[in-house]
Chains A and B, each alone.
Chain A
Amino acid sequence: MRARGWHWVALALACATAANSWPRRSKAEDPDEEWARKQADWETRNGYMFYTLPEQEPPKRDLPNYSGQDSNPVTKEGALWIPRFILFPVYLVTEGILRQGLGGGITKAEEKEIPARVIDAFRFGEKQQYIIFPVFSFDLGLRANIGVVSSFGDIPVKHTTLSAGALFGGIDFVSGDIGITWSPPGKKWSGALSVGASRRADGLFFGLGSEASKDNESRYNWVGYDVGVNYTVEPFRRGSISLDTGYRYRVFGDDVSGTTIPDLVEEGNISSLPPAYPQGYSAWYLDARIAYDSRQPRPSPGSGVRVSTGFNLGLDPVLGNTSSSWIVYGAGVRGFLDVSGHNHTLSLGAIVIFSDGLRGEVPFTEVPAVSGNGPMPAFVGRVLAGDSASVLNFQFTWPIWLRLDGKIHFAVGNVFDGHLSNFAFEDLRMSFGGGIQAHGAEKTYFEFMAGGGTETFAQGPSVTSVRVLLGVSRDY
């Protein structure tokens, strides 16, 4: 009730604002009857009127008879008053509240140079090289969050960039990182050092490999720290070689609402707790990736082939009941066909990923996942995670605006036990969806996607996963 009351107060204020601030169309002082009628016709043609005539303003002259014709033109207004009457409330909002109210406020703010000061607060420095901007994310099934990312050029030394970011999604969802990137001008390589810490309570677990199922949806919380260095070289077109090494720490818990992982075990839905849960793990890791990509950077046509392979080696000498080590490795190939020469690009790709415990088992958050930002994006987070994975993915992307693409995908694949040992066609799932996505930015980009994911063909490929993502995504 209170909200409704405020609504009407706001509406009344907006009407009053509109009535007082709306620059009028003309109004004659004492026109003769004929021209008053002509003017009224003409004013009606030109939309709704709000009149006030402040005394200090000079009186308007009469509208002259420009055409010199001896009778009024036949009005074509006809029955337009009916849709106008029906649409008046919407018009009042769009014109009175948004244009006059919001517009008036922004105009005043601009006059006082407030936006410039706000922008200066987010983008500053002698060369405007320091940038701070907000990010947000809504990903159905995960915790919505807001945050900031920042970039400080030539800090601490020339050609380096200090970057920092933070996300907040509640008292149990805090994440931050800081890093330095070194990109010498004119060189095709860059180096980076980064440190990050996270505390999140929206971990999703659906089981691993063949046990992964919508029926096993459960949650966990986790705390993690990361420190790492990166070296990337881009020797050819969009191809790259990337080396990462560093230290990673994770510990998990069941301090969440709803079904927890131990509940799944208790109910017999999964056979045992996943590796490293809840005690966590720490790992020195080495990640190496190499990709050959024959495509030219945009806006050149997008046809070409991308072949990539890589591995991630983890060594956990400290935590857990037993120290462990593991390796995750895989390869992918994708062909792109730009059907128009203007980046209307069809692509078909296949990817296989394996993981092996060199000593002990692979922690459940380190095993390959194809959901989230992977090739089956209609599944949220690490819903599809297992010891091995195989996916066939079809995509079509097309430009819809500057640096904004439309995108649809259809993928068939799943995660399996080690080395695809239980691979079967009837155990594959489908992922499909579409949306829009910014291109051009490397790590932070706007994205909207809606999609659906199915159960396996054996279970009947009904849609059991729906993902809606809206936000400024950030690839860590």
Chain B
Amino acid sequence: MGAAVALFLLAADGIGCARQVRRYSADGPMWRDEGDFEPFTPVPEVYFSPFAWDAADNMIFRPAARVFAVDPGGEAVNVNSMDEVPDSSWFTNRLSRQRLSPERIARGACDETSLDPSDPWTITSAKPDGANPGFIIEDQQGRAFLLKFDDASQPERATAADVIGSIFYWAAGYETPCNQITFFRKDILQIGEDATATVFGTKVPLTWDRLDPIFEALTPQPDGTWRAAASAFLPGKPLGPWRYELVRDDDANDIVPHDDRRELRGAYVLASWVNHFDSREQNTLSMWVATDKQGRGYVRHHYIDFGDSFGSMWAIRGMSERHGHTYYFDMPHVLQDLVTFGGVPRAWRDNELGPTGKTLGYYNVETFEPDKYRTGYQNPAFIRATERDKAWMARIVAKLTPEAIKAAIAQARLSDPLVESELTRIVLARREKILRRWFRNLSPLAEPTLHEGERGTELCLRDLSVEAGIVNPDTRLYSKHGWRHVRRRKLREVEVGAPRRGSNDAVCVGLPDIDWASLDDPAYLIIDVTGLNGREDDKSRPARVHLYQFGEGRYAIVGLQRPYKLRTPSGRDQYYPRSLEMFALGID
């Protein structure tokens, strides 16, 4: 059956060879999906997310059903002409279109005022039992926070993960709560009048007797304070988790299947980076944001819990080593191991605790393979993610500089310098692995801009491989190619100025000047710029920029493509011969 399906796909793919040049609109890229913020009524119902069924469905039933659906998937739907994702209720371009200072990144979703541990806090409810005990407090300004604590076997890890994870996800463009580390004295706590505790699923009045076990399981700081991660309540009305597939029927703006949203697919790369293996729908939250007094509003989507990241250890023997490498129950892996007598090498067998012992668990560099990463169980959006979706997120990760990463990790206020340095080392090394992998098949050149120079108008692109330090700028070579769109399906080659180094390690090429181009009859140009790793490199692919020229020196960038294959924009020929002219920056 598989062969038959492959044959059909092959036949279908053949149709694609006859593609034509698809021009982009002169209106420019869509940077904000305005319709996604359109107010509507009624307020959607609260979605109940089934804990057990979600796991069973995504481990067993959904994968089986998707096989018989014969739905091989495709590229993400909500991608604009610049190969980017427009702002929406799901995602905000933060690093994608601008540079943020490390200080701003480190603040994440938090505003200027942090939780003040010198004021009295009122406990409104508590969950003293279970694997993740904690309680909810209100500060003097009436703000509500969920306080979460560390497990004694992994001191400071869970709280650090919640803070750092939220910063990384926020910087990447997602909506997260403001998570911050706080140290407080127990005597600032007071129990609210109607406070309740949930004990084995039953609500009972909250008393100190119920709270004491939480503190008994913790280790106080040397100064007698207690360390916690304070997660600020999100504004709006909670509607329950959002799903990683389908759309909500009762959300008028929700029109793109969630597993076809690029930002949800691309989150795979972020999850793999921090080992957020618990990337399931229960760790998300939809909020109803009211926009007027008529009850209208829209739904905003958040990631909320990152406490499993950076090496969470489970009590089930043998499970912690597997996190990130295989699903909790991974039928293909089980069957492969059964029929091969265990002959397939498995990363988790070689996992060993690092110098921090259990604190960072098995969060390491050695066994991390960016394209083989697996969450606890299948995530519908991750399963559908394509190379483009992952490369998109990798470009964002590249813009999270080492300085910003260190500033974010500093927010975790780790007391052990070894843990902080080791965590920093692993995060940076995994970032490098991610960039090397996801920049391999698609161009890392990004953010095309126009600059006036001595050679006329130049097209400049950021080379994220160089910026991130994964290729040597001194040995980096570039090639360029250009076409003018003559008529449907027809292209004519045009001369493109030799690449040169622009500011901030950007690569710039001179644009051809079409003398007849005018506002009424603009020229349509397609410029390929390729970053090459040496003269023998025939793997790297170009960044293909689409422009209009409206007159002398008047250009507009309208599109950016990153082709998988070395084809002309019309898709007819192989080109880029091995003898391709290559340029080192600064040498014409």
Contacts and interface: CB of A to CB of B under 8 A. Distances in A.
Contacts of A63: 77, 255-256
Nearest to A69: B22
B69 A113 contact: no
A400 B12 contact: no
B338 A48 contact: no
Given A45-B71, A83-B8, A399-B342, A69 B61 contact: no
A462 interface: no
B38 A80 contact: no
B69 A84 contact: yes
Interface string B67-94: 0111111100111110000100000000
A402 B260 CA distance: 33
The secondary-structure label for the interface of chain B is: loop
A99 B65 contact: yes
A54 B334 contact: no
Interface stretch (B44-52, B356-364, B453-461, B527-535): B44-52
Contacts of B4: 83
Interface size class of B (residues with CB under 8 A): 35 or more
B186 interface: no
B201 A116 contact: yes
A401 B334 contact: yes
A82 B246 contact: no
A156 interface: no
A398 B334 CA distance: 11
Residue from A24, A66, A79, A404 with most neighbouring chain B CB atoms (10 Å): A66
Interface string B312-355: 00001111001000000110011001100110000001000000
B8 A80 contact: yes
B65 A98 contact: yes
A73 B255 contact: no
A56 interface: yes
Among B5, B33, B69, B341, the most chain A Cβ lie within 10 Å of the Cβ of B69
B329 A25 contact: no
A74 B15 contact: yes
B532 to A, nearest CB: 28
A115 B201 CA distance: 12
A77 B342 CA distance: 38
Interface string A54-77: 101111111111111111011111
Nearest to B329: A401
Among the interface residues B74, B253, B333, which one has the most CB atoms of the partner chain A within 10 A? B74
Contacts of A84: 69-70
Contact residues of A: prevailing secondary structure = loop
B214 interface: no
A90 B257 contact: no
A80 B12 contact: yes
A403 B316 CA distance: 10
B342 A64 contact: no
A79 B12 contact: yes
A218 B19 CA distance: 75
Contact of B250 (A57, A110, A111, A403): A57
B252 interface: yes
B53 A106 contact: yes
B52 A23 contact: no
B316 A110 contact: no
Given A59-B252, A402-B319, A406-B338, A103 B61 contact: yes
A57 B40 CA distance: 10
Interface string B246-275: 111111111111001000000000000000
Contact of A107 (B25, B29, B53): B53
Nearest to A82: B8
A87 B33 contact: no
Contacts of B69: 47-48, 84, 87, 91, 95
A45 B72 CA distance: 8
21 contacts: A23-B243, A24-B249, A26-B247, A58-B251, A61-B35, A61-B253, A66-B77, A66-B80, A68-B80, A69-B22, A69-B25, A87-B69, A91-B70, A95-B65, A98-B64, A99-B61, A110-B51, A111-B48, A342-B349, A344-B342, A401-B337
Interface of A: 23-26, 28, 42, 45-48, 54, 56-71, 73-80, 82-84, 87, 90-91, 94-95, 98-99, 102-103, 106-107, 110-111, 113, 115-116, 299, 340, 342, 344, 396, 398-404, 406, 408, 436, 440
